[in-house]
Structure 1
Amino acid sequence: MPRTVAPARRHTARSRRLRIVAAFAVLVAVAGYLTVQYVTGGKGSDQCTVESADGSAGEGRTYRMSSEQAVNAATISAVGTTRGMPERAVTIALATALQESGLRNIEHGDRDSLGLFQQRPSQGWGTEKQILDPVYSAGKFYQHLAEVPGYSRLPLTVAAQRVQRSGFPQAYAKHEPDAALLAAALTGRTPAALNCEPPRSTAGTGGMAKVRAALVRSFGKDVLPSEKAADGPDTASPPAGATAGVLSVPADTALRSGKGGSGQRGWELAHWAVAQSEALGIDEVAYAGKKWESGSGWRTERKESGTSAVRIGLVQ
């Protein structure tokens, strides 16, 4: 005869199923939240914005990212141009990092993959410590990319795949528009295109020595003049709330013609400084008649600055 199940037992089984369904729904929601945080960079994901000035780089596109992502993107670009790589190479590198890590220097991944490009120590990319250094990992990517014959003429997915050997090579394609937009700004081709809004509380926390060190790390030792010549008179005992230090970074070395007659090299340095504003406590950047200030973005200067140097200022 069929076994009779008591009403109380049926109710208990139904309650257990409902609890399991509810727990599963919570897990799905948490997983979705964590995925969004991973892709966007988490809290403050819209602190930095890149816009195409005239539609030439992405047809009026806008890309938003966190301060962490902006720092990493600017580093990838600086390492590429310092090695003499063209803008196309920077676009390929940025699209690859967007896919592999979301432009975040992560300490985990598939098997022993690490860092911005998910490079693997076991595959000869370097030690864990080296791979987690964005300057090193970007340099290794460009080193391998330069060995790909005709990489600049290849589809981005093909060029990236020949370096990465990914299991999902077509995934790089969806990041190409954003990577091209970022590359146009970070290499300096699109002037005044990058804006960041760092918390005011971070201003002045970096120190000029850290700004110099970061510049040299990204662009090489020739990026700066001697320390004595680099700082303006504002560095000596400034009053409270005044400019604590001004660093003038030469922009006329290897000057490249940009839009509006401005030097592309100068805009590359200016955008790098804006991207680093939260990390290094940079409060203002001025170049080619434009001035960026923390909290207000880019504006035209009343007294136009020239194109021979980029002014980077800290406020305490």
Structure 2
Amino acid sequence: MKTAIGVLASLILIAVVSVIVVLHRNPGSISLPVLGPECVVGAEGEVTMDLTQMANAATIAAVGVRRDMPEQAVVVALATALQESKLENLDGGDRDSVGLFQQRPSKGWGTVEQIKDPRYAAGKFYTALKKVKGWENMRVTDAAQKVQRSAYPNAYEKWADEARVLTSALLGKSTGSVACRVTGTPALRGAAAASAVMAGLKLDWGKKLGSTSPEAAGLTVSVSNASSGWRYAHWLVSHASATGLERVRFADLEWHAQDGKWQQVTTAGDHDSSRVVAEVFA
């Protein structure tokens, strides 16, 4: 046993030394992986996930708001998607199940192409949930099961706490609580990035979206209160990876893609609680 541990320790040491040597000889030639989660959501609890999961969670929450669904509906939807797909937009699953909620074309949820659209899938889930009599007073897992009819009816409950944390943040009930670190080359830049941000906002929020104004380096969204401001700010951070966002600012806080943290705005003139400012990579 001691011999095996010694061999393993030696191999690890050799690997570490090799990386150091290569970096010394070729500075900047290797991009080491970022350790830890890409997104941390902290709102009376903490949830960690990757950038794709975070974007899907933000879309599910936005569709719920757009459809005037209560907070508990968003909790149920997120707990369901966490159980069914871990918030990944899956190409397949059990039998003909696809997407975030593992909905089945053969059961009338829509075509494969439709179900693979997170907005469509979330909308169909909310429509089905709304038809469940008394769902508001049910446990999360019971409400979810009425829609999903899973072989594991109690499985959704284990995600209830995580879903509540996500919901609190994504509905704007907490401040600066979605923090995602986006590294590497931006997916988009300049006008293309700004257009992608605007398009995503309109698709997710629809008529619930406040008035937007294009800016030279991005866009702004007008808000009526702090809650709506943080809804949009957290949505923007959640979708930053795919849209080329570099900075988001609201009230006295701002987020930067590369460090992934919300920090105090240092310039007094930049404190603004009437609009959310999104800036893209140039």
Question: Root-mean-square deviation (CA), in Å?
Answer: 1.7
Rounded to whole Å, the distance in 2 between the matches of 1:299 and 1:51 is 15
Rounded to whole Å, the distance in 2 between the matches of 1:83 and 1:166 is 25
Quick one: which of 291, 300, 311 aligns to 2:264?
300
Quick one: which of 108, 129, 137 aligns to 1:153?
137
Q: One-letter code of the match for 1:154?
A: M
Q: How many angstroms does 1:268 deviate by?
A: 0.6
Contact 1:186 1:272 in 2 (8 A): yes
Query: For 1:110-259, what aligned pairs fall within 5 Å after superposition?
Result: 110-202=94-186, 204-205=188-189, 207-221=193-207, 223=209, 225=211, 230-232=213-215, 235=216, 245-252=217-224, 255=225
Q: How many angstroms does 1:51 deviate by?
A: 1.1
Q: How many angstroms does 1:45 deviate by?
A: 7.3
1:50 equivalent in structure 2? 41
Q: How many angstroms does 1:277 deviate by?
A: 0.9
1:259 equivalent in structure 2? none
Rounded to whole Å, the distance in 2 between the matches of 1:176 and 1:81 is 19
Rounded to whole Å, the distance in 2 between the matches of 1:92 and 1:44 is 31
Contact 2:210 2:223 in 1 (8 A): no
Identity of aligned residues (%): 41
1:17 equivalent in structure 2? none
Q: How many angstroms does 1:211 deviate by?
A: 0.8
Rounded to whole Å, the distance in 1 between the matches of 2:207 and 2:199 is 9
Rounded to whole Å, the distance in 2 between the matches of 1:90 and 1:45 is 27
**What 5-or-longer segments of structure 2 have no aligned partner?**
1-33
Contact 1:80 1:139 in 2 (8 A): yes
2:85 equivalent in structure 1? 101
Q: One-letter code of the match for 1:163?
A: V
How many residues are aligned here? 244
Q: One-letter code of the match for 2:70?
A: P
Contact 2:193 2:281 in 1 (8 A): no
Pick closer, same or farther for the CA change 1:285–1:265 going to 2, 3 Å: same
Query: TM-score scaled by structure 1?
Result: 0.74
